[in-house]
Each structure stands twice: as structure tokens, then as C-alpha cells.
Amino acid sequence: MSTAPEAQKPAKGAKADVKAEPKVTAKSKAKAEAAASEKAAAATAKPAKAAKAAVAKKPAVKKADAAKRSAHAESRLAQILIAPIVSEKATMAAEKHNQVLFKVMRDATKPEIKAAVELMFKVTVDSVQTVQHKGKVKRFGKSIGRRDHVKKAYVSLAAGQELNFSGEGA
């Protein structure tokens, strides 16, 4: 037999009360009040956001930002092209497909490379293909090292456009 008083035991035929009253504590009251105040604050903030959206922004600020971005972009474009690649394979590509090879920064994108070539050499670029060349692992005496990874860009120039690196006829 159990030690619980019989008054609390339900009768054999009666069902136990499934839905008991939840305990209301100070914590739960504070949570409920905080949730109610957040809902009220959100309801009052929505019209304020709509009012902010209705206010027109000043175009003069945008022009100043655009000038800053273009100046920053030009300094980045000046750094993207590291060096032209002059090799037998590069000269064959230049003769056959009117392409020029450049060693470029590893994080440079095709649009950035195109803009950099057009800015630096005042030519029109048709397309850019890039190649990621992984550096070889080489031994230097007893120690093992690795050559640098290199990104190459094959820049296709428009018909009639030409880049001359030799300095002849410039």
C-alpha cells in the first residue's frame, strides 16, 4: 500500500485530471511581461520604418561614395597585373589568337583583370581566361620547399588591338 492520503487518489473508475493548472512563478510572469512589451515595441516600430523609407536619400552622398570607390578600385586595378609573361607559348598564343599572357594576383577576378588591362594599356578586351598553376615541391639541399602558386591570365584583345612589350615603335 502507498502512504499517500486517500483523498488525493482518484477513484478507480474516474479518469485522472490530464490538464493540470500550470504553476505561475515570478520568472514566468517576467517572461510574459517581456514578450508583451517586445510585441508592443515592434508594433510601434513598424510605422517608423515605413516613414524612414519614404524619406528620399541625398544623391550627393552617393556621388562622393562612388568617387571613393572608383579611386580605391583604380589602386586595386593597378596592383592586379604583376608582370607580362614572355615565353614561347605566350608568343604562339599572341600570334594565333591575339592573346596576351599576364601573371596576376591570385585573388583577382576576370572582370578585374579585364578592367586593369583596359585601364593600363588603353585597349579593348574581348575575353579573359585564367589558369591556376600550383607551385612545384622542390628540394633545396636537405630541406623541402615549394615554389609559389601562380595565376595566369590569357587576355584576348579585340580585332586590330595590339600590345607591344618590347618598346619598339612606341
DSSP per position, 15-72: PP--SPPPP--HHHHHHHHHHHHHHHHHHHHHHHHHHHHHSPPPHHHHHHHHHHHHHH
Distance CA 156, CA 127 (A): 5
Q: Looking at residues 40-60, what average pLDDT do you find? A: 52
- Residue 106: per-residue pLDDT: 95
Distances, alpha carbon 158 to alpha carbons 68, 138, 150, in Å: 30, 40, 26
Q: Looking at residues 18-45, what average pLDDT do you find? A: 61
Task: Provide the β-strand partners of residue 4.
Answer: none
Residue 149 cell numbers, joined:
602558386
**pLDDT surpassing 80 at residue 22:** no
> What is the assigned CATH class of domain 81-157?
alpha beta
Could you give the 3-state DSSP secondary structure of residue 5? Answer: coil
Please count the residues of the chain.
170
**pLDDT surpassing 80 at residue 54:** no
- Residue 148: per-residue pLDDT: 94
- Residue 75: per-residue pLDDT: 87
- Residue 103: per-residue pLDDT: 96
**Full-model pTM:** 0.56
- Residue 115: per-residue pLDDT: 94
Q: What tens digit of pLDDT does each residue of 56-103 get?
A: 555 555 555 555 556 557 889 999 999 999 999 999 999 999 999 999
More confident residue, 119 or 166: 119
Distance CA 130, CA 132 (A): 7
Distance CA 84, CA 149 (A): 16
Task: Provide the β-strand partners of residue 153.
Answer: 102, 130
Distance CA 98, CA 84 (A): 15
Q: What tens digit of pLDDT does each residue of 120-167 get?
A: 999 999 999 999 999 999 998 999 999 999 999 999 999 998 887 666
Instruction: Name 128's Cβ contacts closer than 8 Å, sequence gap at least 6.
Output: 110, 113, 114, 153, 154, 155, 156
User: Confidence class of residue 8 from pLDDT cuts 50, 70 and 90?
Assistant: low
